[in-house]
Amino acid sequence: MQELINKAKTLLESGEVARVLGWKKGEYEYDPEPAFFETSESLKDFVYNGFCGANLSKYMIEAGKKEGKTLVFLKPCDSYSYNQLLREHRVDREKAYIVGVGCKGKLAVSKIPFEGILNISGAEYPDAAETLTVETLYGTETIAYKDAMLERCHVCKGKEHVVYDELIGESADTVDADRFAEVERIEAMSPEEKFAFFQSELSKCIRCNACRNVCPACSCRKCVFDSTAFDSEQKANTTSFEEKMFHIIRAFHVAGRCTDCGECSRVCPQGIPLHLFNRKFIKDINALYGEYQAGSDLESKAPLTNFTTEDAEPGVGRG
Amino acid sequence: MYKIKKENLTALYAAIAAENDLFLPIKAAGQTNFGLWTENAEVDIDTLKTVKSGKDIFFPQSETLYKVRREEGKFAIDGEAPRQTPFVVFGIRGCDVRALAVLDKVFLSDPIDSYYAARRQMGTIVSLACGKPATSCFCKVFGVDCAEPEGDVVTWLVGDTLYWKAKTKKGEQLTEKMTSLLEKADEAAVEAEQAAIRAIVEKLPYSKLSLDKWGAAAADANFDSPIWEQMYKPCLACGTCTFVCPTCQCYDIKDYSTGNGVQRYRCWDSCMYSDFTMMAHGNNRTSQMQRFRQRFMHKLAYFPANNQGMFSCVGCGRCVDKCPSHLNIVKVIKAFEKEGV
Amino acid sequence: MPVTENWKPKIVAFCCNWCSYAGADLAGSSRLAYPADVKIIKVPCSCRVNPMFILRAFEKGADGVILCGCHPGDCHYSTGNYYARRRMTLLFSMLDYLGVEEGRTRVEWVSAAEGVKFSETMNSFVEKVRALGPNVRLGDLRCKN
Amino acid sequence: MQEPMHECKHNPGFMRDTLVPQVGIITDIRTETPDVKTFRVEALGGGKLFEHMPGQCAMVCAPGIGEAMFSITSSPTNKLYQEFSIKRCGVLTEHLHSLKAGDQILVRGPYGNNFPVETELKGQNLLFIAGGIALAPLRSVINYCLDNRENYGDIDIVYGSRSADDLVQRKEIEEVWSNIPGVNVHLTIDRPQEGWDGHVGFVPSYLQELAFDTNRTAILCGPPIMIKFCLQGLKEMGFAMEQVYTTLELRMKCGVGKCGRCNIGTKYVCKDGPVFRFDQVDALPNEY
């Protein structure tokens, strides 16, 4: 972590960057918040640990509108999101100094099943322990680092940054699950079971829009779901239809652009596995139009703005 | 004081539900929220904080106010009748019960909101003391005693026994109907539990938050503070904090065209949304900083200024747990405490 | 809504202006019968139809939605229907994934000369949706009463 | 607990929830300017939908389109109907402009406080200052004062708009108001125009030319920039902030101080306003 702070200090003091986008120490180890640092003095609150799961690339849209360069710390998977924003011309590469930071899997405090959590040790950067020690109001507990990891880290896209000016720190391979296993499990269900599954998950939705607002691919100036022109703007969670509409359309609007960064599932206050929608599209795109990873490069044509004359017909695979 | 074995609670729920709608914490798809009891529901009274607070029962996230039918150019208004049947809320915690007192100030002030008022009249509240307060709890700061919550009936879960004590007339009426399931008990076990709870509350990290910088006077004093500009930046402008909050009461009134007419409904809204104050001629809160400030100023300064010092926060800590960017009211209170104004 | 012997499904058919709408016209002028419950919405091109159109049709009470456009390669705008094909492929796959009955959505390429195909397509689609019964999984309850 | 289905104190006899509107019928529409129409609204059985006081507002709703707060431009002394002058500027107003006499709309209200016509303003000389569509809320007070002429001193009305075509209620101003003894109407338009022989110039500068003494209470309403300069002018003339009233407008949904939109600091414009005295406005945070 000191290495990151030193880098930030050097660049801030030399004037090469006007601000640093990183994570700020919260009340505890487990609640750091994304933050802009404009003075080297303020960097005393900088933190980078296992709980810095927040993907900072979307903040670069706003940062890019400001005077001067912004130093941003991106984890390997965050760099895909940044790259995708770059190819959509939503961020200005010239105004970013990207430090690719190492990542050994990020943690979710919601996955730690103990009550009254005070301190968690073992999540330090770069020497994360195999086991987290959790000090609670009701005693000390331990949990394997892996067990507290975010879902996305179990299907990690790899240790490589796709865009950076400089790399600091080592990353670890955290993959221990098949990315599409859950999608396949659902695909194998009967229509009734599928419907029941999504109904029970989506009926929890409170329409807070956290998934949309955190999503680096959802960068529209005005979302169709905020439009008052017709009744797509439905803040009510009156009926189950309305949630389906929102989540299907949202997933569709980011299809072919979603890097599978997993922020939507991380932020959902109701724990809805929203990545299952995006991953279904990714899986279909891979199967029908060839392997495609959004954000991996700046050149290849996105699957939904491309076609071949031999494409499959709609309803492919139906019985 | 009465008691009932935890294993007999299902019988108690069934008995209550036989005469009234019964709302209680139900776990579905991994999350616990208040819902209507049915025989198949997975009741979960052990989870300290339901994701959404009990606010939903009295002020639903979405409710129809009236329907308008149009026939030959004429409108016919079909107003929704306020609730007329009694119901019971079981297992609601002290902070959420206090939150109803906050909502009362809004909805029961003139002109009274008849939909909310009817639910308040029809509802009997069976609250549950918090055996294991969490790190993010700070109800003590707002004078809530989670060892002795308010409510028509108060219950305590001690080991495998639920203790039951009626506190109001409504509570006594409910208790009378349940006597066949309840046994008489003495207060000793509850007193010990309360002492244990209060000891933990003393140790809670946020129990000593200071509200000195807040209250009616803060409406002027804190408005122009540079702290807002420093703090708001990670805010995603989502509505998570407002929707999980037991006291946030802002709402929107919207139309839904069904093809046969229009349903006018009211639904929760969030002051964090960019279009919240948007109108044809402009917007008076154009920046996220202003919207962020509005939320906390409303809870900690404007509301007390209009309601004899009562804060519009009950310290339930849901926003502390749920904010995607880990921003929350505790951080705001602490920032003002530390840096002053 | 009770499903009775006489229950008729409501079908929304999005037809491209250049081929399929003309095909429907031809079906009409050739006196080829297709159910009156098919409501045709004319669109400039099949790729004008975005997923929200389809979902909103279901929301407002449709029991089946069909999209008709020019045959691939024959698009008036050269490539519009190729994009529509990819979009609908993904959308239908998503609807299947959500457990919506597969028979409720369909894409068919109908040229201006294919009045017979238009009528046959509509007849078979309506029959299929009829067999599925009313759409409950993708409708807004508020529109039902 | 109080009885929920109560009789509203502003609105005796109204026994429904305040959020549920009444059906009103548009009995007449006057085109005032290219983008302003005045709608006359009556209850289904004839007569007024409710009683109101000058400065109060009502929620006008076109089902399926939207609902918004409009000031009631007719005076309470009018016993037959209520009027709303509405400028076309958004989705709802666009729709309202497309309506015809005989069409129905939904109305609920009245909401908010009113100009203190029976207290502070009584016996005073009055100076009304308005720009553009802002005459709408003031017209209700002006007509109230004119109909109770004996209760008020001299009345001066300074009214300006972009052009002569944009003057709202021009007929009434020229044919009624101008002919009442003790009432002086001062019209102005922003730019010279053929056929206009009146004053040309912005309202604030005209106000300074007119140089009123401070023995009067001012009632000011208009676009924010006009308010800003008029207020400055009034201060220079020696007016105290306690002598100047205005009426504010913000996004509203409920109209009863509950939906949480229209607050400026601790004050809700719908409930504590829309009428404020400028010393009260000054005490509010700068967020309007």
Whether residue A27 and residue B205 make contact (CB cut-off 8 A), yes or no, is yes
pLDDT of residue D13: 40
Contact D275, D114 (CB under 8 A): yes
Q: Write out pLDDT tens, residues D210-226.
A: 888 889 999 999 888 88
pLDDT, average across residues B132-160:
95
Range of the domain at C68: 11-132
* Chain D residue whose CA is closest to B284: D288
Query: CA–CA separation, D13 vs A255, rounded Å?
Result: 56
Give domain status of residue C15, yes or no: yes
User: What confidence category does residue D82 fall into, taking pLDDT thresholds of 50, 70 and 90?
Assistant: very high
pLDDT (0 to 100) of residue A231 = 63
| Residue from the list A110, A116, A213 with its beta carbon closest to the beta carbon of B134 | A116
Average pLDDT, chain A: 92
Residue D94 contacts A where some CB pair is shorter than 8 Å = no
What does the pLDDT average to over D102-114? 92
Please report, for residues B69, B112, D265, the alpha-carbon distance to residue B299 in angstroms, rounded to integers and kept in the order given: 39, 21, 11
Q: Is A228 on the interface with D (CB under 8 A)?
A: yes
What are the CA-CA distances from residue B234 to residues B142, B276, D26 (Å)?
27, 19, 49
Q: Is the pLDDT confidence value at D11 over 60?
A: no
The verdict on a CB contact (< 8 Å) between B256 and A236 is yes
Note which residues in 227-266 of chain D have CB less than 8 A from chain B.
249-251, 253-254, 256-266
Find the CB nearest A307 among C52, C83, C140.
C83
Check whether A233 has a pLDDT greater than 70: no
Percentage of chain B beyond pLDDT 70 is 99
Is the pLDDT confidence value at B50 over 50?
yes
**Chain A residue whose CA is closest to D64:** A231
How much is the average pLDDT of D163-185? 90
Residue of D nearest to B255 (CA): D64
Report whether D33 contacts D168 (CB < 8 A): yes
Residue B184 reports pLDDT greater than 70: yes
CB pair distance less than 8 Å for B263 and C60: no
Of the pLDDT bands very low, low, confident and very high (cuts 50, 70, 90), residue A128 is: confident
Q: What are phi and psi of D209, to 5 degrees?
A: -60, -40
pTM: 0.90
Contact C145 B263 (CB under 8 A): no
Alpha carbons D196 and D177: distance in angstroms, whole number: 19
Residue C64 within any structural domain of the chain: yes
D51-77 average pLDDT score? 92
Q: Calculate what percentage of chain C has a pLDDT beyond 70.
A: 93
Residue C1 confidence (pLDDT) above 60? no
Nearest to C60 by CA among A231, B74, B252, A194: A231
**High-pLDDT (> 70) share of chain D, %:** 94
Interface check B27 vs A, CB under 8 A: no
pLDDT at A125: 84
| Average pLDDT of span C44-54 | 94
Residue A197: count other Cβ atoms within 10 Å of its Cβ: 18
CB A232 within 8 A of CB C52: yes
Task: Find the closest chain D residue to A227 by CA distance.
Answer: D91
The nearest CA of chain B is from the CA of A257 a distance in Å of: 20
Kindly tell me if the per-residue pLDDT of A173 is higher than 90. no
* pLDDT at residue C2, rounded to an integer: 53
The letter for the amino acid at B270 is: S
In this complex, which of A207, A233, A271 lies closest to B30 when CB atoms are compared?
Answer: A271
**Tokens for B156?**
């305590």
Domain ranges of chain A: 2-107+158-168, 181-305
Q: Do chains C and D touch (3 or more CB pairs under 8 A)?
A: no
Considering the domain boundaries, does residue C3 fall inside one?
no
Most D CBs within 10 Å: which of B262, B284, B303, as the mutation test of the D interface? Answer: B284
State the ipTM, two decimals.
0.89
The three-state secondary structure class of B79 is strand
Residue whose C-alpha is closest to residue B261's, from B64, B65, B66, B68? B68
pLDDT the model gives residue C144: 59
Q: State the pLDDT at residue D14.
A: 41
Domains of chain D: residue spans and CATH: 22-111 (2.40.30.10), 126-247 (3.40.50.80)
Ranking A107-116, A236-245, C23-32, D232-241 by mean pLDDT, the lowest is A236-245
pLDDT band at D24 (very low <50, low <70, confident <90, very high): very high
Which pLDDT tens digit goes with each residue over B72-128? 878 888 888 899 999 999 999 999 999 999 999 999 998 899 999 999 999 999 999
- For residue B59, what pLDDT is reported? 95
Q: Is the pLDDT of residue A236 over 80?
A: no
Question: Which residues from chain A sit within 8 angstroms of residue C79, using beta carbons?
Answer: 307
Whether the pLDDT of residue A229 is over 70: the answer is no
pLDDT at C83 exceeding the cut of 50: yes
- Nearest CA-CA distance, residue A257 and chain C, Å: 14
Q: Which residue of A has its CA nearest to D66?
A: A228
For residue D6, what is the DSSP state? P
Average pLDDT over residues D64-72: 90
pLDDT digit string, tens, across residues B272-330: 988 888 877 778 888 899 999 999 999 999 999 999 999 999 999 999 999 999 999 99
Are 3 or more Cβ–Cβ pairs between D and B shorter than 8 Å?
Answer: yes
Neighbours of C42 (CB within 10 A): 13
Ordered by start, the domain boundaries in chain B are 2-203, 218-339
pLDDT at A133 over 60: yes
In DSSP notation, chain A reads -HHHHHHHHHHHHHTS-SEEEEEE--SSTT--EEEEE-STTGGGGB--BTT-----TTHHHHHTTSSS-EEEEE-HHHHHHHHHHHHTT-S-GGGEEEEEEP-S--B-GGG---SSEEEEES-BSS---SEEEEEETTEEEEEEGGGGB-HHHHT---S--SS-SEEES-------S-TTHHHHHHHTS-HHHHHHHHHHHHTT-----HHHHH-SS---SS-GGG--SSTT------SHHHHHHHHHHHHHHTTTT-----HHHHH-TT---THHHHHHHHHHHHHHH----TTS-SSSPPGGG---TTPPPTTTT--
> Please, do chains C and B touch (3+ CB pairs < 8 Å)?
yes
Query: What's chain B's average pLDDT?
Result: 92
**Residue B332: HSE in the Cβ half-sphere, 13 Å Cα cutoff:** 26
Q: What is the mean pLDDT of chain D?
A: 88
Contact across the interface for D2 and B117, Cβ inside 8 Å: yes
Q: Do A315 and C107 touch (CB under 8 A)?
A: yes
Q: Give the three-class secondary structure for D71.
A: strand
Q: What is residue D9's predicted lDDT score, i.e. its pLDDT?
A: 41
C8 neighbors C47 (Cβ within 8 angstroms) = no
Task: Look at residue D188 in the predicted model and tell me its pLDDT.
Answer: 93
Q: Which subunits count as partners of chain D given 3+ CB pairs below 8 Å?
A: A, B
Contacts of A118 in chain B (CB under 8 A): 135, 205
Average pLDDT over residues D30-44: 93
Instruction: Specify the pLDDT at position D95.
Output: 94
In CATH, what number is assigned to the domain containing residue C56? 3.40.50.960
Interchain contact, C145 vs B256, CB within 8 Å: no
Distance from CA of B18 to the nearest CA of C (A): 28
Taking only the tens place, the pLDDT of each residue in B241-257 is 999 999 999 999 988 88
Contact D259 B250 (CB under 8 A): yes
Is the pLDDT confidence value at D10 over 50?
no
Lookup: tokens for A157: 């896209």
pLDDT tens, residue by residue, A296-317: 999 989 999 999 999 999 987 7
Residue D15 has pLDDT above 70, yes or no: no
Count: domains in chain C: 1
Pick from A55-59, C134-138, D5-9, D251-255: least confident = D5-9
| Structure confidence at residue D2 (pLDDT) | 36
Q: Please state the separation of Cα A116 from the chain's center in Å.
A: 27
- Is residue B24 pLDDT above 50, yes or no? yes
* Residues of chain D with C-beta less than 8 angstroms from the C-beta of B266: 19
Please report residues of D whose CB lies closer than 8 A to that of A229: 91
Residue of chain A with shortest Cα separation from B255: A231
pLDDT for residue D5 is more than 50 = no
Tell me, yes or no, if C39 comes closer than 8 A to chain B by beta carbon. no
How far is it, in rounded angstroms, from Cα A152 to Cα A4? Answer: 24
D128 versus A237: the higher-pLDDT residue is D128
